[in-house]
Copies of this chain bind each other. A is one copy, B any other.
Amino acid sequence: MTTESPYDLCLDKNEANFAPLSPLSLLRRAARVYPDYTSVIYEGVSYTWAETYARCRRLASALARRGIGHKDTVGIIATNIPAIYESHFGVPMIGAVLNTINTRLDPEAIAFILDHGEAKVLMVAAELSDVVAKALTMTSRPKPLVIGIDDNSGGTLLGEIDYESFLAGGDPDFAWSLPKDEWDAIALSYTSGTTGNPKGVVTHHRGAYLNAIGNVVGWTMPAHPVYLWTLPMFHCNGWCFPWTLAAVAGTSVCLRRVSAKNIFDAIADQRVDHFCAAPTVLGFVINARPDERRAFDHQVKVMTAGAAPPAPVLAAMSAEGFKMAHVYGLTEVYGPAAVCAWKREWDDLPQDEQARLMARQGVPYQVQEDVTVMDPVTMIPVPADGQTMGEVFFRGNITMKGYFKNPAATEECFAGGWFHTGDLGVLHPDGYIQLKDRSKDIIISGGENISSIEVEDILYRHPAILEVAVVARPDEKWGETPCAFVTLKAGFDDLTGEDLMAWARDNMARFKVPRTVVFGPLPKTSTGKIQKFHLRARAREL
């Protein structure tokens, strides 16, 4: 169209001025600058950044010697132990793709992932040997190389070689390289779908690097945080925090089992100052018994996501001395990709009001282009009125490449140039988004739409309620009515459904009050989300 500009002449990319973005660069830097700083702690074991870097290079080298390389899938199934941290670097160092597998899956689901993901290697923590052994009998593809990891669980190691011996056969000075293309796959993560087969989310080096840095900027992380792993690293690569911790040369405190006591002990003994946690884990903290608690005198920053935490949970955590940040994302957007960015003018508001504001999902991360709420048919943004419902959409660099071997789902989820989250929400006048229910979580009663999240939010204020989920129960007269499944705190066993409904009538519009209350434990997905589809089924049978 135009004549060539002098800006087009001899100003090209070369080895000096261009490098593919990859979180591997962050590990190399941490090992160079802070070789003696503690990288990973697990029970009696502690590594420095020099050691972690050497172990990751050994892993990469040992895999390469077995013929594993570019675009090969390497699976790992483990709780938060050092090996899974190391796999986040050692596997991509040879251009291979890390497939972390949810430890709570049954053998059928693991077999599906092994077949679909085409793992050539599978690293297995000892406590998962049994379930994986079963899964391996169910696969249809050639068996992967199985490497057993001693995780201090006392379980028997599976596989032909153990992880430490495997590392010992690798070269600690292995000459790994950055990916040729920053768009190359770095990880394959299967979503814990509540129905049907899970989908394999493929992410890339560029996005992993950007969200690693994005977590630092979005959470204003200092250098050398001490970070507690309550969030599983198998869950969306631990929201990219394995890589974030290399960027800031922080310490990973690994935990095989998450409990209130473990969390308080790590805060008091290791001086943990940061952790990420699902709302369920926040519940452990808030509801810890006195003998599980430990005193601590430093601030602990907590990032939470998943289901919107009820306002009372947010308020209780703040009151305990935890500084809360609320983020939102999905595996498809590398974990957190939106944040309820705090505003200093909120500091002076009443705590309830603070919690109400903070329960919103917020605004895009600095490294994500946008998050908004639109009509999914017209792709026109909803009015920023905090009322009009639409679907939540993301776009930007921390959005997956697509679903593995699933072009139809990939095309569908990117239709119109945005990633369709499937979540419903509203846009507030201040530009912050807030999730409302997925369409199936809306209860339609007598023609009125009832937000199950809103009803849950109010019920959580009741002092006896530990956990609650509200779903639709079919009703001849009203179409549907709200049905509450409730777990009570210890010591409140006398509370009846009638008591709760009476309290609810004082605290919400009549048509929103649950007509049915069922007490007992709530079914959850392997990542701790309440499985409402199970509850809906139960409600139908009541």
Is A489 part of the binding interface, using a Cβ–Cβ cutoff of 8 Å? Answer: no
Q: What B residues does A93 contact at CB under 8 A?
A: none
Is A98 part of the binding interface, using a Cβ–Cβ cutoff of 8 Å? Answer: no
Is A450 part of the binding interface, using a Cβ–Cβ cutoff of 8 Å? Answer: no
In contact, B418 and A5 (Cβ under 8 angstroms): no
In contact, A397 and B18 (Cβ under 8 angstroms): yes
Q: What B residues does A8 contact at CB under 8 A?
A: 71
Is A405 part of the binding interface, using a Cβ–Cβ cutoff of 8 Å? Answer: yes
In contact, A366 and B213 (Cβ under 8 angstroms): yes
Segment 395-454 of A: residues with Cβ below 8 Å from B: 395-397, 399-402, 404-405, 407, 410-411, 414, 417-419, 431
In contact, B217 and A97 (Cβ under 8 angstroms): no
Is A353 part of the binding interface, using a Cβ–Cβ cutoff of 8 Å? Answer: no
What does the 1/0 interface line of A122-165 toward B look like (CB < 8 Å)?
A: 00000000000000000000000000000000000000000000
In this complex, what residue of B is CB-closest to A10? Answer: B407
Bound-state CA distance A220–B343 (Å) is 19
Q: What B residues does A402 contact at CB under 8 A?
A: 10-12, 17
Per assembly, the copies of the chain total 2
In this complex, what residue of B is CB-closest to A417? Answer: B15
In this complex, what residue of B is CB-closest to A344? Answer: B224
Is A377 part of the binding interface, using a Cβ–Cβ cutoff of 8 Å? Answer: no
In contact, A247 and B366 (Cβ under 8 angstroms): yes
Q: What B residues does A14 contact at CB under 8 A?
A: 414, 417
Give the residue of B10, B34, B222 whose beta carbon is less than 8 angstroms from that of A410.
Answer: B10
User: Given A7-B202, A16-B399, A366-B213, A33–B417 Cβ distance below 8 Å?
Assistant: no
User: Given A217-B213, A395-B19, A6–B118 Cβ distance below 8 Å?
Assistant: yes
User: Given A9-B407, A202-B7, A17–B366 Cβ distance below 8 Å?
Assistant: no
In contact, A29 and B363 (Cβ under 8 angstroms): yes
Is A25 part of the binding interface, using a Cβ–Cβ cutoff of 8 Å? Answer: yes
In contact, A5 and B71 (Cβ under 8 angstroms): yes
Is A248 part of the binding interface, using a Cβ–Cβ cutoff of 8 Å? Answer: yes
In contact, B17 and A217 (Cβ under 8 angstroms): no
Give the residue of B2, B26, B366 whose beta carbon is less than 8 angstroms from that of A29.
Answer: B366
Is A268 part of the binding interface, using a Cβ–Cβ cutoff of 8 Å? Answer: no
What does the 1/0 interface line of A203-235 toward B look like (CB < 8 Å)?
A: 000000000010011001111100000000000
User: Given A33-B431, A366-B26, A97–B16 Cβ distance below 8 Å?
Assistant: no
* Nearest CB in chain B: distance from A100 CB, A: 16
In contact, B213 and A410 (Cβ under 8 angstroms): no
Bound-state CA distance A21–B398 (Å) is 12
In this complex, what residue of B is CB-closest to A397? Answer: B19
Q: What B residues does A223 contact at CB under 8 A?
A: 220, 341-342
In contact, A247 and B217 (Cβ under 8 angstroms): yes
In this complex, what residue of B is CB-closest to A188? Answer: B7
Is A242 part of the binding interface, using a Cβ–Cβ cutoff of 8 Å? Answer: no
Is A511 part of the binding interface, using a Cβ–Cβ cutoff of 8 Å? Answer: no
Is A364 part of the binding interface, using a Cβ–Cβ cutoff of 8 Å? Answer: yes
Bound-state CA distance A223–B71 (Å) is 39
In this complex, what residue of B is CB-closest to A1? Answer: B70
Bound-state CA distance A32–B405 (Å) is 37
Q: What B residues does A417 contact at CB under 8 A?
A: 14-16
User: Given A25-B369, A223-B220, A396–B19 Cβ distance below 8 Å?
Assistant: yes
Given contacts A9-B405, A21-B397, 15 further A-B pairs with CB under 8 A are A6-B404, A7-B202, A14-B414, A15-B418, A16-B414, A16-B419, A17-B397, A17-B419, A29-B366, A32-B431, A213-B217, A217-B217, A223-B341, A224-B344, A247-B366
Could you list which residues of chain A lie within 8 angstroms of chain B, going by C-beta atoms? 2, 5-19, 21, 25-26, 29, 32-35, 70-71, 97, 118, 183-185, 202, 213, 216-217, 220-224, 247-248, 341-344, 363-364, 366-367, 369, 394-397, 399-402, 404-405, 407, 410-411, 414, 417-419, 431
For the complex of A and B, list the 5 residue pairs with the smallest distance between their C-beta atoms, beginning with the closest.
A15-B417, A17-B399, A10-B407, A11-B401, A5-B71
